[in-house]
Structure 1
């Protein structure tokens, strides 16, 4: 029974997950799920003028309250506590928002905006719910996990106290994707043939030069093996591939990724947390090429689905046209192996994380109300 049906006041929720798409997308997907469960829920998003907050959050239809950015040290130590001025100003601004909207819970996803929200919530006794999408938690979520028992992660191996693994909140367009049903229309949309295997290539939103060079350098061998390619280069990159058959389609960006997923049989890409979650939910086998930075975080993101048999892992330094020819093409041309990897990728996915997190947040609100009335 919803709060609306029971006559209870609608829950008042503040969502703090800003700066990068990796923080904003799960936050907005959670907010959408909460609104499906509780259509009258009052949801306010916190953000800063840095990053993508002012672009992505209003586009999803949620009120955005801006607070001053307070960049944090990358390690949880005394330097964090000595961060003067900017953090204090951000905490005061976040607290003013919590007071104005009468927040009953703060749901944080990490990033610049989460730390001030957590500190302001703790000062007011407002419950904190934490979601960590990455295998290696950021400093804000590591601190917040010491403030609350409501801690949720993408996978079981994330080192946070009190953590429960639920996956990453994703869009229903991805979790509800029926790839076989949409395949023909999706391939037609990109100018691909209905039946030959399709390799989708992407390096993330900005592209990846190593992946672009390796796959485009193997274009002739891919064609000779009968493999089609949908190559999403990223807006700052381009590749030159001669026209031929089967098609090798090059596009700078795709807005509705569910069509690219439906068109594909196999993917080669980076292993950001959202990418790993979406591809597993879609049941797509992958060759992951972790970004060789950030202390190996992307490798950790990919390891669960690799261990499950739904993906391959190749180091950036080892990826070249020869790897595509010798290792990837034999997989792409083996329908039985692709089917097995697809099933194992699906089994490693968590398609209902958005609803699971929304239910946990509603429980936190109910507990707070119960404590206040008791």
Structure 2
């Protein structure tokens, strides 16, 4: 509790600084709402960076929840973070559903106070627990821009799109009104990555052998047990084939891997803070297929074996399909992933330089490398309209 109160105080000070800057007329204030998971936070941060490149005088403030990953990622990137109560939406009828209207009302009230204090000119939502109260707090008062990365939009973005000024989506066929395909905003360290030029430095950074094929493994920000079990269980076969491994197992998981004499390094890490270097170090990646992951892997031209998350509405398999159909990736169902599958499928692939080259070339053109700045211009246009109109002091619903 002490840490959360401290975080609240810090976020309030940072937001107050943003509000003061806005009061001096230094530039538009953009509020981004994309807390909870890296899949929501990273596009929001990529947008924030693009906004600052295009308008260095702009103020960017992020909304988040007390327990989300944004508490680590957003301050580390230099942006102010305001914490508001989350609105988790139950999937089934429960007592929580009956209490939901009160939770929504409280969260919207707190969020509206933040928007007023920082002098928001536009609210940009990326879905997730914090987006719904942001949309409802801004409705009728501040322009809203919605970004949906997945083909199947979540409930928050379905609601927000109904009264948004602009709706941007990552892929064609996303069923939201007025959807404009812009792609998924990615960090410039990813879209401008020179994998070949950084290879030696990246491998040295992680303690990997400089001249052997390297397999990169990760299961999202929290790791994935099935990936951990399958790849670590094939450690001998990987070592015998001369394959090095960089394996992010997740901060809440542990991974014990036996070392084999004469084999390349198998490097387990809890979390990858430098994804650019991880991509540069690798010849092949085995990972989940969240929208953000697929976009990044495709942008850097890294051949992939995607293992979609077996839960939810099947969106991760949909995310992977374009890369698979283009020949840039393979797809393995989670229930079929095993040490034996890694041995029979992944080991021959990661050691086949010619095939990997063809897969890498096939990834070219799959993504939208300029999505960050395209979305930023859209957002700044809405912010400018609001600022020129002198804001909306009439209040919302």
Could you tell me which of 329, 335, 338 is aligned with 2:347? 329
| Pairwise CA distance, 1:109 | 0.9
Corresponding position of 1:276: 294
Cα deviation code 1:191-211 (max 9, x no counterpart): 333322111122222222222
1:25 aligns with 2:42: yes
2:38 and 2:221 in contact (8 A); partners too: no
State the 1:116 CA deviation.
Answer: 1.3
Contact preservation (8 Å) 2:39, 2:291: yes
Q: Is the 8 A contact 1:190 1:249 kept in 2?
A: no
- TM-score normalised by L of structure 2: 0.84
For the structure 1 residues 193 and 208, does the alpha-carbon distance in structure 2 shift closer, same or farther, using more than 3 Å as the test? same
CA contact (8 A) 2:33 2:130 kept: yes
Q: CA deviation at 1:369?
A: 5.2
What is residue 50 of structure 1 aligned with on the other side?
A: 67
Helix, strand or coil for the counterpart of 2:211?
coil
d(CA) in 2 for partners of 1:190 and 1:123?
50
Change (3 A) 1:84 1:267: same
Q: 1:355 to 1:229 in 2, by over 3 A?
A: same
**Residue 305 (structure 1) shift:** 1.5
Aligned to 2:314: 296
Aligned to 2:86: 69
Is the 1:209–1:237 Cα contact (8 Å) retained in structure 2? no
1:340 and 2:358 correspond = yes
Residues 125-171 of structure 1: CA deviation (Å, up to 9, x unaligned) = x2110111233211110111111251112221322221122222222
Residue pair 1:74, 1:138 contacting (<8 A) in 2 also: no
- Three-state SS of the structure 2 residue aligned to 1:32 is helix
**Pair 1:189-2:205 in alignment:** yes
CA contact under 8 A between 2:207 and 2:265: conserved in structure 1? no
Runs of 5+ unmatched residues, structure 2 = 1-24, 392-397
* C-alpha distance 219-55 of structure 1, shift in aligned 2 (>3 A): closer
**Alpha-carbon offset, residue 65 of structure 1:** 2.2
Distance 1:25 1:353, change over 3 A: same
Q: Give how far 1:9 is off.
A: 5.9
Instruction: Tell me, in whole angstroms, the C-alpha distance in 2 between the residues paired with 1:237 and 1:130.
Output: 37
Secondary structure of the structure 1 residue equivalent to 2:139: helix
1:243 Cα deviation (Å)? 2.7
The structural deviation recorded for 1:368 is 4.0
Q: CA RMSD in A?
A: 2.4
Q: Higher relative contact order at CA 8 Å, sep ≥6: structure 1 or structure 2?
A: 2
Task: Indicate the residue corresponding to 2:281 in structure 1.
Answer: 263
Q: How does 1:122-137 map to 2 (within 5 A)?
A: 122-124=139-141, 126-137=142-153
Where in structure 2 are the equivalents of 1:1-374 lying within 5 Å?
10-74=27-91, 83-124=100-141, 126-235=142-251, 236-253=253-270, 254-368=272-386
Q: Give the deviation of 1:284 after TM superposition.
A: 0.4
Q: Which whole-Å CA distance do the structure 2 matches of 1:321 and 1:70 have between them? A: 39
| Contact 1:231–1:249, Cα closer than 8 Å, also in 2 | yes
> 1: distance between equivalents of 2:81 and 2:390?
28
Report Cα offsets for 1:228-265 as digits up to 9, x if no partner. 22222223120322233341322223321211111101
Q: Against the structure 1 CA distance between its residues 109 and 74, is the aligned structure 2 distance closer, same or farther, given a 3 Å change threshold? A: farther
Distance 1:263 1:108 in 2: 33
**Residues 311/117 of structure 1: CA separation in 2 closer, same or farther (3 Å cut):** same
Greater alpha carbon shift after TM alignment, 302-311 vs 259-268 = 302-311
- Describe the SS at the equivalent of 1:230: strand
1:3 paired residue number:
none
Contact kept? 1:233, 1:239, Cα under 8 Å? no
Whole-Å Cα distance in 1 between the matches of residues 259 and 346 of structure 2? 21
